Structure 1
Amino acid sequence: MKIIHTGDWHIGKIVHNIHMTDDQRYIMERFMDILEREKPDVVIIAGDIYDRSIPPVEAVELLDEVLSGMLKKLGVKVIAAAGNHDSPDRINFASSILVDKGLYMRGRFENITNPVSLEDEHGRVNFYVVPYAEPAVVRSYFDREDIKSHDDAMKAVTQAIYESMDKNERNVFVGHGFVTYTSGDGKEEEALTSDSERPLSIGGSEHVDVSYFEGFDYVALGHLHRAQRVKFENIRYSGSIMKYSFSEHMHKKSVTCIEMEEKGETSVSFADMEPLRDMRVIKGRLEDLIKSEIYSLGNVDDYIMAVLTDRQEVYDAIGKLRAVYPNILKIEMEGIEREAGEDRSSAADEFVKRDPIELFCEFYENISGKPFDHEKRDELVEITQAMDIEGRRL
């Protein structure tokens, strides 16, 4: 059986106030091209189909187009689970009706030991689809007070599945979470994360031990945005379908192609996803970054974060960069970070009540990179006091 594993589409995503729907529509067209070329039997979407629980209309329309294309045009079956960004009820809507069309949507945490069973020339492949759920939901489902963390919850889930699972058949787990493992020296291995992943919980309790999944022939995971395996070649994150933060600028986005043989052996390959506009980080002095020999090295229409290495404050950096890179989203200047279009010298609402002297000191240090010493501060106090007296005379 040939399986395409993808996830973390985040349809309807907004990045630095930019709606990504046009970019997502383009990448979905490339995804459909991959499906036409690879001709899979089934596509797995491992959660975070939408970016938020109430998606915008254009996001719903785009997903409808993609699913319709897979089911009607290509005849590919689709198995999808809700992620932590999705609304369980919205993902679950009309799921029982759509099964006859080859669309298996699991939004609510229910009937988790009942697999989606598909067949190929070697027999059945059972897909255990487990949508994201908070530990409290899992605790209530199993009526077990000892389930307090995501790790506890997933241990209970996999134990329940193993009790009913036919181990003589091929079995696939589909889920959404933060799976880690402990190396031989007892150290927990760091997963490759990014800034655009919403934490599932606080204080490390979101982590799930990879050992719970060792009884499955393949494990299709969602949540982490970088494609990666977790200890074993057959336990994988597909990664997000696009870059959604500048922390992902070095990622190579792809979908994961799985060939499953008669006894459950799997071979893995990747189909790259080329975006309409990449998300890149450029670094250097302002005057260098706007030279043709530099900007001609890449697509100037990409989404850009510029890291300026100028030692002095530069005039209208945003305007000059935007003249060359129209989709610049962010600027950093020697550790000072701001969004494109943000005026660093303007006081935000929360600053209004602060001491003007303190605000000026911060402004001076940000601009000059030098400390505002006590002598300068005393002079500034004298000047402001004199201005205040003069103003009251008027």
Structure 2
Amino acid sequence: MKIIHTGDWHIGKIVNEYHMTKDQEYILNQLLQIIKEENPQAVIIAGDIYDRSVAPVEAVELLDKVLGEIILDYNIPILAIAGNHDSPERLNFGSGILKTKGLYIEGVLKKEPAKVVLNDEYGPVNFYLIPYADTAVVRDIYEEPSIKSQQDAMKAIIERIKSNMNEKERNVMITHGYVRGLEEPETCESERPLSIGGTDMVSYELFDSFCYTALGHLHSPQKAGRDNIRYSGSLLKYSFSEVKQKKGVNIVHIDDKGSAHIETRHLIPLRDMRIIRGELKNLMDPEVYNAGNKEDYIKAILTDRGELLDPMRKLKSIYPNIMLLELEDRGNRGEYNILSKTSRGKSKLELFSEFYKYINDMELAMESAEVLSKIIQEVEKRGEDLEAN
């Protein structure tokens, strides 16, 4: 059986005040093309279909268009679950009717986990759809006070599945959360924490009975402990911590023995996310900005030492989708104490020059020192005049 595993669409996402719906429409059209070319027997969406519980109208319309094309035009079933960003009840609405068309959406976790059976030339493949649920919700569903972490919750769910599961058949798990492998999972700034203190982590060993586990939540494509336990990652980059990631979807082939063979189809965004670094004048040089797509979403780190006049406006004239602007961190230089012994007996100009160097890591220019000296003299004279009056 061939499956396309996706996750974390986050339709309706806003990144640094930029609406991403057009970018999402562009990337979802690519996904539709991949589905058309691959012609799988199922498409998985492993949670976080929307970015927030009440999705904007344009996000709902986009999802309706994409799901409709997959199911009605391509006649390919979709297996989807709610993630921690989704509203379980809203996603669950109409799910019973939609099943007749091949759209299987599980928004709300049930005591008896949802099971969808699809067949290929080798027989049945059983898909278990486990939407995200807080630990307290799972504890109430199973009426088990000992469930105090996501590990406990997932263990209880899988024990329930295994009580009726035929392990001689091919079984696939679809769920959403943090699954820890042999190494710490790669996380991103755009992922919403599930809990505090590590109680959200689930061991990969719980999924030993499944020939493939399709995970959602982490935005970096990666395996969790074993090759057949995978995150597909998000379809787009949603933070600058993801600039080095290659986004895509997992093409999963499950053979007659239940072995999963995974390939990746990469996605090319309408606008990439990039970090550029350098002095302002260099970043505005045609040789620099013509080297990449000026329409990309940009984070600029300026290395200039002196004062800059409205650098964001200047950069935006070249990079219209610049999102963030930072000055390079010059490190911790310790605390500056203007009352230190070494400061005694120095003129106001000398003290300011020292402070300027401390802040900017460079000497005050001669021209600036001359202007500043005149200002200090003028201020002192006005002070003397006020005292005389």
TM-score where L is the length of structure 2? 0.85
- Verify the 8 A CA contact 1:280 1:303 in the aligned structure 2: yes
Spell out, residue by residue over 1:225-284, the C-alpha distance to the aligned partner (whole angstroms, 9 max, x if none).
000001110000000000000111111000110011111111110111111111111111
User: 1:186 is matched with which residue?
Assistant: none
CA shift, 1:367, in A, is 6.5
For 1:208, the aligned partner's letter is: V
Spell out, residue by residue over 1:198-245, the C-alpha distance to the aligned partner (whole angstroms, 9 max, x if none).
000011111111110011000000000000001110000000000000
Q: Which moved more, 1:111-120 or 1:281-290?
A: 111-120
Write out aligned runs for 1:289-328 (5 A): 289-328=283-322
Alpha-carbon spacing, 1:195–1:261, altered in 2? closer, same or farther (3 Å):
same
Write out aligned runs for 1:170-189 (5 A): 170-181=170-181, 183=182, 189=183
For 1:146, the aligned partner's letter is: S
Task: State whether structure 2 residue 224 is matched by structure 1 residue 230.
Answer: yes
CA distance in 2, matches of 1:56, 1:209: 35
User: 1:87 is matched with which residue?
Assistant: 87
Q: Name stretches of at least 5 consecutive residues in structure 2 with no aligned partner.
A: 331-354, 363-375
Spell out, residue by residue over 1:43-89, the C-alpha distance to the aligned partner (whole angstroms, 9 max, x if none).
00000000000111111111000100101111111000000000000
CA distance in 2, matches of 1:289, 1:40: 45
Task: State whether structure 2 residue 280 is matched by structure 1 residue 286.
Answer: yes
Task: State whether structure 2 residue 328 is matched by structure 1 residue 330.
Answer: no
CA distance in 2, matches of 1:197, 1:257: 24
For 1:94, the aligned partner's letter is: G
TM-score where L is the length of structure 1? 0.84
CA distance in 2, matches of 1:157, 1:366: 59
CA distance in 1, matches of 2:47, 2:219: 11
Q: Secondary structure at the match of 2:317?
A: helix
Q: Secondary structure at the match of 2:133?
A: coil
Q: Name stretches of at least 5 consecutive residues in structure 1 with no aligned partner.
A: 184-188, 337-362, 371-379
Alpha-carbon spacing, 1:168–1:307, altered in 2? closer, same or farther (3 Å):
same
CA distance in 1, matches of 2:277, 2:37: 38
User: 2:130 is matched with which residue?
Assistant: 130
CA distance in 2, matches of 1:366, 1:325: 32
For 2:176, the aligned partner's letter is: H
CA distance in 1, matches of 2:356, 2:119: 69
User: 2:264 is matched with which residue?
Assistant: 270
User: 2:18 is matched with which residue?
Assistant: 18
Write out aligned runs for 1:143-154 (5 A): 143-154=143-154
For 1:105, the aligned partner's letter is: I
Aligned residues: 349
CA shift, 1:111, in A, is 4.7
CA distance in 2, matches of 1:257, 1:198: 26
For 2:3, the aligned partner's letter is: I
CA distance in 2, matches of 1:232, 1:133: 24
* CA RMSD after TM alignment: 2.4
Q: Secondary structure at the match of 1:324?
A: coil
User: 1:53 is matched with which residue?
Assistant: 53
CA shift, 1:316, in A, is 2.0
Alpha-carbon spacing, 1:213–1:115, altered in 2? closer, same or farther (3 Å):
same
- Verify the 8 A CA contact 1:149 1:205 in the aligned structure 2: yes
CA shift, 1:315, in A, is 2.1
For 1:293, the aligned partner's letter is: E
Q: Which moved more, 1:270-279 or 1:111-120?
A: 111-120
User: 1:348 is matched with which residue?
Assistant: none
Alpha-carbon spacing, 1:335–1:82, altered in 2? closer, same or farther (3 Å):
same
CA shift, 1:164, in A, is 1.2
CA shift, 1:365, in A, is 9.2
Write out aligned runs for 1:191-270 (5 A): 191-270=185-264
CA distance in 2, matches of 1:284, 1:269: 38
Write out aligned runs for 1:352-367 (5 A): none
Q: Secondary structure at the match of 2:163?
A: helix
CA shift, 1:319, in A, is 1.6
CA distance in 2, matches of 1:80, 1:312: 53
User: 1:64 is matched with which residue?
Assistant: 64
CA distance in 1, matches of 2:47, 2:356: 47
Alpha-carbon spacing, 1:62–1:364, altered in 2? closer, same or farther (3 Å):
farther
For 1:281, the aligned partner's letter is: I
Alpha-carbon spacing, 1:302–1:153, altered in 2? closer, same or farther (3 Å):
same
CA distance in 2, matches of 1:285, 1:162: 60
User: 1:141 is matched with which residue?
Assistant: 141
Alpha-carbon spacing, 1:366–1:46, altered in 2? closer, same or farther (3 Å):
farther
CA shift, 1:335, in A, is 2.6
CA distance in 2, matches of 1:290, 1:204: 44
Q: Secondary structure at the match of 2:31?
A: helix
CA shift, 1:287, in A, is 1.2
CA distance in 2, matches of 1:112, 1:223: 23
CA distance in 2, matches of 1:74, 1:297: 39
CA shift, 1:179, in A, is 0.4
CA distance in 1, matches of 2:219, 2:11: 14
- Verify the 8 A CA contact 2:111 2:142 in the aligned structure 1: no
Q: Secondary structure at the match of 2:265?
A: strand
- Verify the 8 A CA contact 1:112 1:130 in the aligned structure 2: no
CA shift, 1:323, in A, is 1.2
